[in-house]
Structure 1
Amino acid sequence: MIWTTLIIGGTVGLALVWIVAELSPRHPKLSAALENLGTVEVDTSKADFRAQLGRLMQRGVLSKFGVNKKDLALVGATSEQHSANQALMGIMGLVIPPAFGTVFVLILGLPAPILIFSLPVSLGLAVLLMWATNLTITQKAAEARQEFARAVATYIELVAAERKRATAATIALEHAADVADSWVFVRIRQELQLARYKGQRPWDALKQFSKEIGVPELSDLADIMRLAGAEGASVYEPLRARGKGLRVQLLNEARSRANADSERITMPMALMGLIFIALIATPPLFKLITS
């Protein structure tokens, strides 16, 4: 009985650690973009199980638990990988309640039929964990999209500086992307590199990339640079104007979010004030009533 309890307890502990690791914030991954840079063959024997789980989650009713593909592309994950993670979280949700129930039966001596009540809890926890997996991706994508927009504002200014030095449109985009090593600039460099390998014009690649990840600010840069590359137009002033306008837009959005957060805090603060007043006023009231 002791070994059985230890094994079940270890399994539950590993499951909880796995859940915390999956739900903890992470930096956006670049694996999806790096996979497009080459055709390196890897050992897929270990990935077969996860791939099967991913394909299973994309069928029938389970496909309703999917998430926006633009969010997945932005954080560097594929639909199959996300579906496999969802399936694993769902399996953990199904396993954890019966495991706890078994521990209680063995340690506390509860009747074994009580394990039947863990079945609806298992289904509810599985759905909750799969929903939490989607919510994690959505939150990561929202934060990454804001960071991407801020970096694009800087990137536009850098491209404008390159164009002021009479640098060609294609070279200006590449030189500006080489300035920083943040994940946003790395993704932009990768897209420009892929466009060069494919013989695609860089502004077309950035336009397509902006649609894939849902960042329209990058599409505006691509439209401006298309004028410089295709028609040879002077785009220094439009770039500076767009960069300034984007900074103002992002600042206004940040202020709006701050105001919304302040409004949400107002009600809890008012409630805490009422509770504090009630705590102070209660003893005198009781004394007045009793006297």
Structure 2
Amino acid sequence: MNAAMLAGAVVGLGLYALVRALFPPRPGIAARLAAFDAARRREQEAAARSRMSPTLEKVGGLRAKVGRELVRLCESRGWQLRSVRADLAITDRSLEGFLATKFMLPAAALLFIPVVVAYFTLLGIGSSFQIPVWLCGVFAAAFFFFPDVNLRQEAAARRQDFRHVVGAFLDLVSMNLSGGRGVPEALMTASAIGDGWAMLRIRDALSNARITGQTPWQALGGLGDELDIAELRDLAGALALVADDGAQVRKSLSARAASMRSRELSELEGKAGERSQSMLVAQLFLCAGFLVFLVYPAVMRVMAS
């Protein structure tokens, strides 16, 4: 009964997908205009990101075609994916490649259902389709969420590095302001020190702001929105409020740098404490295993007698 219901559900889902693929709904005028604006905005963002990040992931072949279709589908449905776009921006990955990976990995897992069925048949386990289908379905679900987990972990690590660079950047700006430079000149001079990827992103944002006629703090705020870095947004707001008073800017930046360093130290101390606790638990398990190893012969001797 369960096999018949599962087979009927799979067949029904396949028929529904076939009908939707052969007879897609006709979009209205508003949907067409939104898709046109989204395509133009996507081209502009891709050009800007390629200028700001030369190490941006290049996607080609079948993966690029699948990714573009999935991006169009998300835009037509109105899915913004803001957190995913921010994580992709800070890890120098493209949305097309990410969506293509999320789609192709589960599809590949499902395509292996006949192979798993044949393997089970050769082992003599049986010719039932239930175990291979459920096994491939579990792997497909795991492969679907694996890119998200990997992206979040990498983005969190890069954001931590970026925050560390922002603290050093604030100290450099404060020192340049103490030397008599103005705020825009101090920001550009501070960003020119260092060749790390985070400092390069800040430098490129400030350089593009000079070309496009934006203020440096607006560029930093836009970069903070793009990468989801709260420290950059706060810095942009502070600079916009006190940009006319150099002394207040120096005090504000020094205080922010000190608070960021103290917060980083507290986070590092918390992580060190967690690792110490985990090591203590591991040592306790080792001691328990050693005690069992010592006591086991005596217990077996007593039980044998």
Shorter-chain TM-score tier: 0.7 to 0.9
The answer for unaligned runs of 5 or more in structure 1 is 1-30
Counterpart in the other structure of 2:49: 34
1:261 maps to which of 275, 278, 302? 275
Distance 1:59 1:115 in 2: 37
Partner of 2:192: 178
CA deviations 1:102-129 (Å, max 9, x no partner) are 4565xx3759944553222222211101
Give, in angstroms, the shift of residue 183 of structure 1: 0.9
Kindly tell me the number of residue pairs found equivalent between the two proteins: 253
For residues 58 and 122 of structure 1, do their structure 2 counterparts lie closer, same or farther at Cα, with a shift above 3 Å needed?
farther
Q: Compared with structure 1, are the counterparts of its residues 198 and 92 closer, same or farther at alpha carbon in structure 2 (3 Å cutoff)? A: same
Tell me how far apart the structure 2 counterparts of residues 173 and 155 of structure 1 sit (CA, whole Å): 8
Q: Is the 8 A contact 1:191 1:206 kept in 2?
A: yes
- Does 2:249 match 1:233? no
**In the alignment, structure 1 residue 87 sits paired with structure 2 residue 110:** no
Shift of 1:211: 2.7
Q: Does 1:191 find its partner at 2:205?
A: yes
TM-score by length of 1: 0.74
1:168-189 alpha-carbon deviations (Å, 9 max, x no partner): 2112111111111111011111
State whether structure 2 residue 293 is matched by structure 1 residue 282.
no
**Aligned equivalents of 1:207, 1:67: Cα separation in 2:** 17
- Residues 78 and 32 (structure 1 numbering): CA distance in 2 closer, same or farther, change over 3 Å? farther
Q: Which amino acid aligns with 2:156?
A: A
- Shift of the 32–182 alpha-carbon distance from structure 1 to 2, 3 Å rule, reads farther
Among all aligned residue pairs of Structure 1 and Structure 2, give the percentage whose two residues are the same amino acid. Answer: 24
For the residue of structure 1 that corresponds to 2:201, the secondary structure is helix
Q: Which has the higher contact order (CA 8 A, sep 6+)?
A: 1
Contact 1:227/1:233, CA 8 A, preserved across alignment: no
Structure 2: gaps of 5 or more residues: 1-45
Instruction: Work out the CA distance in 2 between the residues paired with 1:43 and 1:128.
Output: 23
Show the 5 A alignment for 1:43-122. 47-56=64-73, 68-102=84-118, 105=121, 108=122, 113-114=127-128, 117-122=131-136
| Structure-2 change in CA distance of 1:253 and 1:154 (3 Å) | same
The residue that corresponds to 2:148 in the other structure is 134
Please provide the CA RMSD for this pair.
Answer: 3.2
Q: Does residue 204 in structure 1 map to residue 218 in structure 2?
A: yes
1:129-175 Cα shifts (integer Å, max 9, x gaps)? 11111000010011111111111111111111111111121121111
Given that 2:191 and 2:203 are in contact with CA atoms closer than 8 Å, whether structure 1 keeps it comes out as yes
Q: Partners of 2:223 and 2:156 in 1: how far apart? A: 17
